Amino acid sequence: MENERLLVLGTNIHVTDYDGAIQTILRWIKRKESTFVCFVNAYALMSYQRDMRLLKGVNTAGLIVCDGMPLVWLGRLYGKMTTRVYGTTLVRKLCERAVARHLTIFLLGGQQGQSKDILSALMRLYPGIAIVGVWETPDRPISISDNRRIIRDIWLTRPDIILIGLGCPHQERWILANRHRLPPAVCMGVGSTFDFISGWKKEAPLWMQMSGTEWIYRFIQEPRRLWYRYTVMNAQFVWRIAKQFVHDMFSGVL
């Protein structure tokens, strides 16, 4: 499936599942390839619409996966066998493989004091996991001096996987700005995964994740931070998707 694509608002999303994504990532690591993974949802796509340079950069990712049920439903309207590849779940599955294959991981992101809880959770959940570096980034954008030290530490540790939890679109911009300065590694912008793994925030129940109502759960937890995302930006997303769908229907794409 991974060669099949779904074009949504200019973003080429790979049609794949968890197993396909993990096998692709493991293949890159074995070959010592430098590339990155993007997880896209409605908010990410609208962020890209505001920055065409960012959109162009994201489309150079080795893997762009569908991390939102509205995109799954849209893909099926286009006749694609789309499934959700939720970032936090993929990270958990990848950590299991990392232990079995002795892969190393570098963590970049998180709030002040969060790294201790992330490390504790990962060590408890995945005994033997090799976390070779941790950098918290409470101040964003990352300062030039801190960024130099981060790059230096990544070169010193040479991880197989770099998990970047800066939030969208900060993490994508960081990857695009720094990917050619890094040793061979797979970079993944994982958003709120650090919050969920560390226990700083609660994940929505599985039934809400799969029914497209996860946003309600998250909004209740953080209404001040998320109100604009889930009202204005989601409304803009629905409008743009409707325009794309009508255009594609009359132009013979559907």
Sign of dihedral through CA atoms 83, 96, 183, 148? Answer: positive
pLDDT in tens, 100-152: 999 999 999 988 888 899 999 999 999 999 999 999 988 778 999 999 999 99
Let me know: does 62 contact 36? Beta carbons within 8 Å.
yes
| Alpha-carbon span 111 to 97, nearest angstrom | 26
- Give the confidence band of 2 by pLDDT, cuts at 50, 70, 90: low
In this prediction, residue 24 carries a pLDDT of 97
Let me know: does 11 contact 48? Beta carbons within 8 Å.
yes
Classify residue 130 by burial, with Cβ atoms within 10 Å: 0-12, 13-18, 19+: middle
| Alpha-carbon span 82 to 163, nearest angstrom | 24
Phi-psi region of 168 (alpha: psi -120 to 50; beta: other; left: phi over 0): beta
pLDDT in tens, 56-87: 999 999 999 999 999 999 999 999 999 999 99
| Alpha-carbon span 250 to 147, nearest angstrom | 48
Which residues, other chains included, contact 52 with Cβ-Cβ below 8 Å and sequence gap of 6+? none
Q: Which amino acid is at 59?
A: N
Q: Whose structure tokens read 């976390």?
A: 131
In this prediction, residue 111 carries a pLDDT of 85
Q: What is the mean pLDDT of the chain?
A: 93
Q: How many residues does the chain have?
A: 254
| Alpha-carbon span 89 to 66, nearest angstrom | 13
Burial 91-116 (b: 16+ CB within 10 A, else e): bbebbebbeeeebbbbbbbbeeebbe
Burial 44-63 (b: 16+ CB within 10 A, else e): bbbbbbeeeebbebbeebbb
| Alpha-carbon span 84 to 21, nearest angstrom | 11
* Average pLDDT, integer, range 199-217: 91
* Structure token digits, residue 73: 């439903």
CA 208, 21, 6 angle in degrees (round to 5)?
A: 75
